[in-house]
Amino acid sequence: MQKEMRKVHRALVDLVGLMNRPQRDSALLREAGVELDRALFPLLIAVEHKGPVGVVELGELVGRDYTTVSRQMAKLDSLGLIARRPSRSDNRVREAVITAKGSEVTAAIDAARQRLATQLFAKWSKRDLRYLARLMRRFADDLEPFASTGVAMKQPKCR
């Protein structure tokens, strides 16, 4: 089991590294025909998927300081891609929601992602792709409870 866990961890580190490359986001935005600051892109996607969402929670989701996220949210708001409103559960919190214009942008990005994924998975069988999707969903769901504690899957410290 230890050997397999090491392989899983290495694959995850590789995947995170590949997914976080700025060139990947730039290529996706180009494919979608969307002109958007690359730094704003993950925030817009997160608001669409998780909204309504507050700045602190959004910062945690994308791994950025909430003060940076707050400035970036103001930019998305000024572009008309999101709207900010008082939280229904806590009036001290302003939460972001996607606008119709923001949904149009994310739909274009989703379509571009689909086109690129079709190329990426062209040699995969439907069965393998379904299996990958199921296991990834299971992994994400099982990892969720550990996300707030930071216990699971931390990088070991070098000695």
Where are the domains positioned within the chain?
A: 2-146
Q: pTM above the 0.75 mark?
A: yes
The third-level CATH classification (topology) of the domain covering 2-146 is Arc Repressor Mutant, subunit A (1.10.10)
The tokens for 31 are 């494919």
Helix pair 66-78, 41-50: axis angle to 10 deg: 90
Report the candidate in 47, 34, 5 with the shortest Cα–Cα distance to residue 113: 34
- Quote the mean pLDDT of the chain: 89
- B/e letters for 66-102, b = 16+ CB within 10 Å, e = fewer, are eeebbebbeebbebebbbbeeeeeeeebbbbebbeeb
Please name the helix (run of DSSP H) or strand (run of DSSP E) that holds residue 95, with its range, or none.
Answer: strand 94-98
Predicted confidence (pLDDT) per residue in 1-52, tens digit: 899 999 999 999 999 888 888 888 899 999 999 999 988 989 999 999 998 9
